[in-house]
Amino acid sequence: MQQYAFFLPILILLCGCQSMVTQEPPPNIIVILADDAGYADFGFMGSNDLLTPHLDALAESGVIFTDAHTSASVCAPSRAGLMSGQYQQRFGFECNDIPQDSGLSLYEETMASALKPKGYHTIAIGKWHLGLSDPYHPNERGFDEFYGFLSGARSYFSNKRDDQEGHPNAMLFNKARIEFSGYLTDAFGDHAVDYIEQHKYVPFFMYLSFNAVHTPMEAKEEDMKKFEGHTRQQLAAMTWSMDENIGKVMTKLQVEGILENTLIFFLSDNGGAANNQSDCGPLKGWKGNKFEGGHRVPFLVSWNGKIPGGQTFDGLTSALDIFATAAAVAGANLPKLDGVNLAPFLIQEKDGSPHQQLFWRKDKMSASRTGLHKLIRLDDYGYRFYNLADDIGEIHDQQESMNSDFFYAKKQLNQWETQLIAPHWTEDPSWDTVTYEIHQALMENREPHYTNPKQFKNYLQSQNDINTL
């Protein structure tokens, strides 16, 4: 227990306003990230057809955030914001298609590197997607251990293509390629359990980043049978498996007697995707666009014995807040962050919204939230302005009827953009075209002509055929 000696006097829980004297060691911190999960695809978020009993129990023990957002609507920039606690556009990480020799800026401190000076052992498990080359490897960004793959997506089963030496999809333990058997979601859950067994006597930070429920849509045969006849059979089976493995982690924490000293976050990295059967509920849009369905996500926080359970919190919240909250409860030094310490809200010392405004930008698409007012801008096309208080589906443009609020939101978005730098890389041109069409269609309340590059190619061919008649 000597490891804890320098932690004992004070645990800073409320940043800047109050401290709590405690004889407990600093809390373990676990961030569990789902991939491309829809806003309404968990029992605790209202799903009636996807079964998530372990996550539902975790939610019941803590706080469900109904208006929580990621800082991007696609995977890599969202993870850059989460891991740095800053709008990733500040350091040029705006787009998803990371070049081979780039990644999360080497000048930015990560959540893991901020916690290490406070005695935390750190591990990243699962999908990384923050850079492929060695300087951007998790072991170089504050993580003592890494068990996962570096790229953005791979098969859930071992195969010759993904698992060859040097492939970005290959499974690694630290920097060495390893073999795995069975189902990848199980492998991640099992490794998390093994890690807790090995590090239960020291404070640890675990970043448990499942690639479920990202495509390819692959599930275990026994889970597919469980949901035979289900209208979303593959998604139901994949979600069930992820929930089952989260349950393994919770059980291990409880068995080892450390659950009550573990702060747990769960969220999705962005909204549900158009190609994985996900459901964003009443929200408009999906992964990749600036409507609420693209970046409003399921989000919960649990800390048994510290946070009153059974709460629902409606304040405007961001995934950027996880870094600030983790650093505050650990007593770590905070770099300059865009996130807010949620601890005062979690223990009901403070009410209201952690944020008055949030912003998004990727290529030609930008957006902001000011309270319940939502602004969306599409370069070379125009704006839409919605009042989410009575139009959560973002249908009715209020530019004229709420003129002063609209111009204020425009001014604030423009001012925020003056703080950013140009993106270090952009998306593939075909995806830029597709994303632009999707935004234009949603702004016009119509179905997009295409939602992926293959459909775009087919659309061009059909238009050409019409023109030659």
Counting as low any pLDDT under 70, the low residues of the chain are 1-23, 469
Q: From CA 14, how far away is CA 180, in angstroms rounded?
A: 42
Residue 99 burial class via C-beta count within 10 angstroms: exposed 0-12, middle 13-18, buried 19 and up: exposed
Show which residues are catalytic.
75, 129
Last residue within a domain, chosen from 339, 355, 371: 355
What would the two tokens of residue 142 be?
């504050």
Same domain, 19 and 65: yes
Same domain, 334 and 412: no
- Report yes or no: 291 and 348 within 8 Å, Cβ to Cβ: no
Same domain, 189 and 255: yes
Phi, psi of 141, rounded to the nearest 5 degrees: -120, 30
Same domain, 337 and 420: no
Last residue within a domain, chosen from 355, 389, 421: 355
Q: Which residues have CB under 8 Å from 243's CB, separation 6+? A: 51, 52, 53, 54, 55
Whole-angstrom CA distances from 409 to 387, 400, 439, 440 are: 12, 13, 19, 20
- Report yes or no: 272 and 41 within 8 Å, Cβ to Cβ: yes
Same domain, 378 and 330: no
Neighbours of 78 (CB within 10 A): 28
The CATH code of the domain that includes 70 is 3.40.720.10
Q: From CA 294, how far away is CA 361, in angstroms rounded?
A: 12
In 227-371, the DSSP E strands lie at: 262-268, 299-302, 311-313, 317-318, 357-362, 365-370
- Report yes or no: 106 and 133 within 8 Å, Cβ to Cβ: no
Q: From CA 285, how far away is CA 15, in angstroms rounded?
A: 36
DSSP 3-state assignment of 411?
helix
Number of domains present in the structure of the chain: 2
Same domain, 350 and 363: no
Same domain, 350 and 397: no
Same domain, 88 and 185: yes
Same domain, 371 and 349: no
Helices (H) then strands (E): counts for the chain? 12, 18
Same domain, 347 and 363: no
Q: Give start and end residues of each alpha helix (H) in 74-183.
A: 75-84, 111-115
Position 181 scores a pLDDT of: 95
Last residue within a domain, chosen from 355, 385, 405: 355
Same domain, 81 and 230: yes
Same domain, 134 and 207: yes
DSSP 3-state assignment of 4?
helix
Bridge pairing between strands 18-21 and 10-14? antiparallel
Position 23 scores a pLDDT of: 52
Bridge pairing between strands 68-69 and 121-127? unpaired
Phi, psi of 317, rounded to the nearest 5 degrees: -135, 155
- Report yes or no: 90 and 420 within 8 Å, Cβ to Cβ: yes
Position 333 scores a pLDDT of: 85
pLDDT tens, residue by residue, 328-384: 999 998 889 999 999 999 998 999 999 999 999 999 999 999 999 999 999 999 999
The CATH code of the domain that includes 461 is 3.30.1120.10
Residue 181 burial class via C-beta count within 10 angstroms: exposed 0-12, middle 13-18, buried 19 and up: exposed
Position 334 scores a pLDDT of: 82
Domain that holds residue 182: 2-355
